[in-house]
Amino acid sequence: MCNDLIIRRFAGAFILGSLALGWTVSPAWYLFTAFVGFNLLQSSITGFCPLERILGRLGMFGCRPAR
């Protein structure tokens, strides 16, 4: 389990980064923005967050593996 602030910070950074890349490099980067938004939506419904699992397995930012 991770602190919700960590997940929100990653999501915000991914969204802002992909918007900047979409604006400056290629509009195809907006698909990444949509992917992050979809993951946020599905995690709010199901409670499953892929980023939380990844960070838990790596033991980063004080996250623990899900049981």
Question: For the chain, what are the domain ranges?
Answer: 4-62
pTM: 0.79
Yes or no: say if 29 and 21 are a contact pair by the CB < 8 Å rule: yes
The per-residue pLDDT for range 2-21, each reduced to its tens digit, is: 777 888 899 999 999 999 99
The per-residue pLDDT for range 27-42, each reduced to its tens digit, is: 999 999 999 999 999 9
Angle at which helices 30-46 and 4-24 cross, to 10°? 160
